[in-house]
Amino acid sequence: MSTEPVSAAPPPAEPEALPSAPTRRTFIAATTAVGGVAVAGGVIGGSVLVGSEDAAAAVAPVSRVSLTVNGTRRTVTVDNRTSLLDLLREHLDLSGAKKGCNAGACGACTVLVDGRRVNSCLTLAVRLEGAEVTTIEGLADGDRLHPLQQAFIDEDAFQCGYCTPGQIMSGVGCIKEGHADTPEEIREWMSGNICRCGCYVKIVRAVEQTAGK
């Protein structure tokens, strides 16, 4: 057990460099904070230390956890309630994985943990000691897109794009698991990813083409 009181919570071992100009995300976060409720333990120097949904508790147990995200070793101290999704988005500035339902029902938050696709919203970050996490940001090889990323562009497999990172990470898992042989099989094994725009036909096509390569 590696918990310590919140007052002793150190900053992240590898603090993210803050951008000098406000990005779209920090702008929205800042304006939301102004218009919203002031909370203890929320945004501190641009780095959110607790899960965004759980910012109200004054004293909450925290733990230190070391994991690898997209090939980079990270050591962070998190409120035990923090999901992997919130760790990625609010702490590590990796906003590719999306928060849709936050209940394991939509798949927008899908990432790979130790090579397997999972819902990061239902994964407690504190449980990921030693784990290897791959997000949409870690999929490309430098400037060369992952074949499934390229296939989504070629097939025009999205409209609003909100579900797309989850679809692609899930598709990578689906192909790796060997469940992408037919359109029917892909539909069944990709059913954990909802697309409100209804781009399923093209999503299936993108997964099928990538699997066939």
Partner 1 sequence: MHPFSYTRASDTREALNAGRRGGRYIAGGTTLVDLMRETVERPETLVDISGLPLREVRATEGGGLRIGALVTMAETAAHPKVRALYPVISASLELSASAQLRNMATLGGNIMQRTRCTYFRDVTAACNKREPGSGCAALKGHNRTHAILGTSDSCVATHPSDVAVAFAALEATVHLLGPDGERRVPFADFLLLPGRTPNREQALRPGELITAVAIPALPRPLRSGYLKVRDRQSYEFALTSAAVALHLRGGIIREAKVAAGGVGTVPWKLPAVERHLIGERPSAALWAAAAEKAADGARTLQHNGFKPELLKRTVERQLRVVGGTK
Judged by the rule CB under 8 A, the positions of this chain that interact with partner 1 are 1, 3, 51, 53-54, 57, 59-61, 63, 79-81, 83, 102-104, 107, 110, 116-119, 122-124, 126-127, 129, 170, 173-174, 177, 179, 187-193
Which tokens belong to 135?
């997000």
Shortest spacing between CB 199 and partner 1, in angstroms: 17
Residue 211 CB contacts under 8 Å (≥ 6 apart), including other chains: 174, 175, 180, 181, 186
Comparing CB distances to partner 1, the nearer of 181 and 188 is 188
Comparing CB distances to partner 1, the nearer of 161 and 178 is 178
Residue count of the chain, please give it. 213
Lookup result for tokens 């304006």: 31
Shortest spacing between CB 162 and partner 1, in angstroms: 17
Shortest spacing between CB 57 and partner 1, in angstroms: 5
Which tokens belong to 122?
């239902």
Comparing CB distances to partner 1, the nearer of 26 and 68 is 68
Residue 195 CB contacts under 8 Å (≥ 6 apart), including other chains: 158, 163, 167, 203
Shortest spacing between CB 64 and partner 1, in angstroms: 11
Shortest spacing between CB 164 and partner 1, in angstroms: 16
How large is the C-alpha radius of gyration of the chain? Answer: 18
Comparing CB distances to partner 1, the nearer of 83 and 210 is 83
Strands 116-119 and 132-134: what pairing? unpaired
- Please enumerate, as own/partner, the contacts of 127-130 that have beta carbons within 8 Å and a separation of 24 or more: 128/65, 128/67, 128/84, 129/65, 129/66, 129/67, 130/66, 130/67
Comparing CB distances to partner 1, the nearer of 2 and 31 is 2
